[in-house]
């Protein structure tokens, strides 16, 4: 495992620089970094998601904190961050082993979460047993309320499948009521926890919204050829296509739909739609494509974050979980500033405190973030939030989606 680890020993001369800046009054505490570890997918099928949503935000946050002098402690001192990271190679057993190593051998102060619902669920019992707060940012699960009660130091930031499915059903149902679509839906879903949660919630939500599901198929994780699924959807005469998919699937289905000239009035694909690379995958004619998430692009805090992320990573963040990931780190930082590196106290502060983040004033409800966007759509070159429609900054949906140009 060690060959998959990269230890970031700070390039700053910690003790020397702090001593100099404080005129020789630095304490031993100042010279000791706060050790933060994580295991995340740098290789394997999950690397695409982790490389957009998770890793760049971890790196940006560490850079921001260290360039500002480090994490502020309640006693007035500052301690810079030292990172220890592992590649989990997109494998659940690897991420579990890495987390145990971080806690028991590397003795890190805090452990940041991996990318993806499955990996966060895999480490949750271990994180709880080891006593580490778990910021399960990139985890969509309807069992979040149950998990938050079971593992009291776990925090869930992306809501559940029911939230996303019901919001999407309302968008399509409203379009049907307005005479923009007939409401015949072809839906496909990846056969893992994420896809199962979404499709199980979508079936009753679509029915309640008066929509007819004319195709309902699942596909195995790791599928790479989507031509048959897309042709089946096209043959179903659906005027709405919905895929609860992961990034490689999202990209593959989009290309397959373009090749097949499949042009339903509603084209919704899952994780990856909000990624900046989606425009390169789909080409310039992505206006009207819907997917999970969205951001209020007119919010100055979000605009500033997008610019700083772009400057740091060389590309914009995704327009869904990236900002939430960075906000979760701001919450962790502020909790540490208030109570120090005591993990029990930090977990309590995260659970009960109110924080200023790029999302605005942020407070968890029963260890869950509920201030979320559920549906987004590409409009004017940005993945804009369209639901909940009543939220400030929501954009009006474009329905029907313009036909593919290629």
Residues 209 and 284 in one domain: yes
Q: Judge whether 401 lies within some domain.
A: no
CB-based contact 323:305 (threshold 8 Å): yes
Q: Judge whether 400 lies within some domain.
A: no
**Confidence at residue 10, expressed as pLDDT on a 0 to 100 scale:** 35
Q: Judge whether 395 lies within some domain.
A: no
C-alpha–C-alpha distance, residues 223 and 247, integer Å: 11
Instruction: Report the CATH number at residue 228.
Output: 3.40.50.2300
Give pLDDT tens digits for 172-203: 999 999 999 999 999 999 998 889 999 999 99
**Confidence at residue 297, expressed as pLDDT on a 0 to 100 scale:** 82
Residues 289 and 305 in one domain: no
Residues 34 and 174 in one domain: no
**Confidence at residue 193, expressed as pLDDT on a 0 to 100 scale:** 83
Q: Judge whether 27 lies within some domain.
A: yes
CB-based contact 141:156 (threshold 8 Å): yes
Residues 22 and 102 in one domain: yes
Q: Judge whether 193 lies within some domain.
A: yes
Residues 85 and 229 in one domain: no
**Confidence at residue 60, expressed as pLDDT on a 0 to 100 scale:** 98
Residues 332 and 288 in one domain: no
**Confidence at residue 277, expressed as pLDDT on a 0 to 100 scale:** 93
pTM attached to this predicted model: 0.87
Q: Judge whether 129 lies within some domain.
A: yes
Helix axes 321-339, 55-67, angle to 10 degrees: 40
C-alpha–C-alpha distance, residues 165 and 227, integer Å: 25
**Confidence at residue 405, expressed as pLDDT on a 0 to 100 scale:** 84
Q: Give the CA dihedral 37, 91, 189, 178, nearest 10 degrees.
A: 10
Give pLDDT tens digits for 254-282: 999 999 999 999 999 999 999 999 999 99
Residue in 302, 318, 308, 293 with CA at minimum distance from that of residue 359: 302
Q: Judge whether 128 lies within some domain.
A: yes
Q: Judge whether 325 lies within some domain.
A: yes
Would strands 184-190 and 240-244 be described as parallel, antiparallel, or unpaired? Answer: parallel
What count of other Cβ atoms lies within 10 Å of the Cβ of residue 100?
16
CB-based contact 155:165 (threshold 8 Å): no
Residues 356 and 289 in one domain: no
Residues 112 and 47 in one domain: yes
Residues 170 and 143 in one domain: no
Residues 291 and 309 in one domain: no
Check residue 91 and give left, alpha or beta (phi > 0: left; psi -120 to 50: alpha): beta
Q: How many domains does the chain have?
A: 2
C-alpha–C-alpha distance, residues 35 and 106, integer Å: 9
Residues 249 and 116 in one domain: no
Residues 215 and 265 in one domain: yes
pLDDT per 10-residue tile (average), the chain, 406 residues: 41 32 41 94 93 97 98 97 98 97 98 95 98 96 95 97 97 98 98 92 98 98 95 97 95 97 97 94 91 93 97 96 98 98 98 97 97 96 95 95 88
Residue range(s) defining the domain that contains residue 222: 161-297+373-387
**Confidence at residue 227, expressed as pLDDT on a 0 to 100 scale:** 98
What φ, ψ does residue 76 adopt, rounded to 5°? 95, -10
């Amino acid at each position: 495992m060690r060959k998959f680890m990269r230890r970031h020993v700070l390039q700053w001369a910690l003790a020397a620089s702090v001593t100099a800046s404080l005129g020789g009054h630095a304490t031993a505490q100042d010279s000791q970094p706060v050790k933060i570890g994580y295991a995340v997918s740098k290789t394997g099928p999950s690397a695409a998601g982790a490389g957009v949503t998770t890793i760049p935000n971890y790196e940006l946050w560490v850079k921001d904190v260290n360039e500002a002098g480090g994490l502020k402690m309640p006693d007035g001192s500052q301690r810079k961050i030292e990172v220890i990271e592992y590649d989990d190679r997109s494998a659940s057993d690897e991420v579990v082993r890495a987390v145990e190593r971080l806690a028991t051998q590397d003795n890190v102060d805090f452990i940041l979460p991996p990318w993806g619902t499955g990996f966060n669920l895999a480490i949750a019992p271990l994180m709880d047993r080891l006593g580490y707060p778990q910021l399960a940012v990139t985890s969509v699960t309807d069992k979040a309320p149950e998990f938050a009660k079971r593992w009291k130091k776990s925090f869930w930031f992306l809501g559940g499948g029911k939230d996303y499915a019901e919001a999407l059903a309302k968008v399509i149902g409203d379009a049907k009521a307005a005479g923009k679509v007939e409401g015949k839906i072809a839906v496909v879903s990846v056969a893992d926890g994420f896809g199962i949660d979404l499709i199980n919630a979508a079936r009753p939500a679509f029915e309640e919204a008066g929509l007819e599901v004319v195709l309902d198929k699942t596909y195995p994780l790791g599928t790479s050829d989507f031509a048959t699924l897309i042709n089946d959807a096209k043959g179903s005469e659906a005027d709405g296509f919905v895929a609860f998919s992961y990034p490689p699937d999202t990209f593959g289905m989009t290309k397959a739909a373009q090749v097949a000239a499949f042009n339903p009035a509603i084209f919704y694909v899952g994780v990856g739609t909000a990624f900046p690379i989606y425009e390169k995958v789909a080409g310039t004619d992505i206006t009207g494509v819907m997917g999970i998430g969205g951001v209020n692009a007119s919010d100055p805090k979000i605009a500033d974050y997008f610019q700083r992320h772009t400057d740091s990573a060389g590309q914009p963040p995704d327009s869904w979980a990236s900002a939430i990931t960075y906000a979760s780190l701001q919450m962790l930082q502020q909790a540490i500033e208030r109570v120090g590196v005591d993990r029990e106290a930090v977990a309590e502060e995260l659970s009960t405190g109110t924080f200023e983040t790029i999302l605005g004033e942020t407070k968890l409800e029963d260890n869950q973030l509920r201030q979320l966007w559920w549906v987004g759509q590409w409009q004017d070159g940005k993945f804009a939030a369209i639901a909940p429609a009543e939220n400030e900054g929501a954009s009006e949906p474009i329905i029907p989606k313009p036909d593919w140009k290629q």
